[in-house]
Copies of this chain bind each other. A is one copy, B any other.
Amino acid sequence: MTGEDLAALGEFGLIERIRARLGEPSDGVLVGPGDDAAVLTPPSRGLVATTDMFVEGVHFDLELSPPLDVGFKSIAASCSDIAAMGGRPQYALLSLGATSSTPVETIDGLYKGIDEAQRELGVRLAGGDVVSSEKLVLSVTVLGEQAPGGSIRRAGAQPGDLACVTGELGAAAAGLALLRAVDDAAARDLLAKYPALAEAYRRGRARIREGQRAAEAGVGAMIDVSDGLAADLGHVCDESGVGIEVRAADIPLAPGVPEVASWVGEQAERWALGGGEDYELAIAVAPQRFDTVQKAVAPTRLTVIGTFLAGDKRAGIESSGWDHFRRGSA
């Protein structure tokens, strides 16, 4: 198999290979890969649906992430969007663009990661498409079931709500900085000391349990931290028509982030606010519900980092997030 590429395998050989790797459909998949469309048992409550595209050289770099992790992250990132609504991911569809010269080994790695993600996150890959494209492109759709009490929107933050965040931030940005500096012995030492940083960048995550528990406990608004905490809190303010004051010093940083930031000559808070891809949940919680929500998401940490305000003041979220098209976006 070594050295074989997609030109040798062909489109339909590839589809067969994917079907064999992923096994027989199950868990609500009535018709799986290999027909014109998948047929799925619909959720009994609202159907939550999200789609994301991951482009080589933009969203991932095979020099920094093995195909296994790229595949895993593509599914996890979309599941994170479902989690941010309080929903439960059930099914995934994946379109893959690759060149004829893509090694079959790379494709096998991607689908191994996708398979790991579906087992770990409770989704089933139910269908997809394979096409030729110059760069590797993964386009993922995840479908799921909405929270029993209804979906949690970006638009539900009220003035006076606490701005909270699950887990810890900055890990993905710190991991990326170290992976880019891997020729340096000190970077390699830091990678060995904090392996969770590289893993955070490479694999992403989806706070599915936390999103469901928070939705049940009663929260006002929720969003996943994919563009960067500052930008994502800005989206909540935009949709809710509120302002915000964030205390940067209160943002929980992942272990190793301050040390790596100091080594790189960056401010750890800037990574936490602008780095993106931490896939934690930012949540607006009424003060009287905070204890309940905190207990609901435990043992994952829930930390208050600021307050939503009446009006349009935005303090502490000046750091800009990622914009795919702006010149000089960072």
Task: Report which A residues bind B (CB closer than 8 A).
Answer: 6-7, 9-12, 14, 30-31, 34-55, 57-59, 81-82, 84-85, 87, 91, 93-98, 100, 126-135, 137, 139, 141, 143, 146, 151, 153-155, 222-224, 239, 323-327, 329
Known: A38-B48, A327-B7. A53 touches B129 (CB 8 A): yes
Known: A10-B325, A223-B36, A323-B10. A46 touches B58 (CB 8 A): no
A325 interface neighbour in B41, B100, B222, Cβ under 8 Å: B100
The chain B residue with its CB closest to the CB of A224 is B36
| A57 CA / B98 CA spacing, docked (Å) | 14
| A137 CA / B59 CA spacing, docked (Å) | 15
Chain B nearest CB from A213 CB (Å) reads 17
| A48 CA / B133 CA spacing, docked (Å) | 26
B143 touches A36 (CB 8 A): no
B94 touches A51 (CB 8 A): yes
Chain B hits for A153, CB < 8 A: 31, 35
**CB<8 Å pairs between A and B, sample of 25:** A7-B325, A7-B326, A11-B323, A11-B325, A11-B326, A31-B85, A34-B154, A35-B85, A35-B151, A35-B155, A36-B82, A36-B85, A36-B224, A37-B85, A39-B48, A42-B42, A42-B44, A53-B131, A53-B133, A53-B137, A55-B97, A55-B133, A95-B139, A134-B134, A137-B139
Q: How many copies does the complex hold?
A: 2
A10 touches B326 (CB 8 A): yes
A97 touches B53 (CB 8 A): yes
| A14 CA / B324 CA spacing, docked (Å) | 10
A47 touches B36 (CB 8 A): no
B139 touches A37 (CB 8 A): no
Known: A49-B143, A59-B131, A327-B7. A37 touches B95 (CB 8 A): no
Chain B hits for A141, CB < 8 A: 49, 51, 93, 141
Chain B nearest CB from A1 CB (Å) reads 16
Chain B hits for A48, CB < 8 A: 37-40
Known: A31-B151, A85-B36, A154-B36. A93 touches B49 (CB 8 A): yes
Chain B hits for A95, CB < 8 A: 51-53, 139
The chain B residue with its CB closest to the CB of A82 is B37
A37 interface neighbour in B35, B36, B81, Cβ under 8 Å: B81
Known: A37-B85, A85-B37, A239-B34. A131 touches B50 (CB 8 A): no
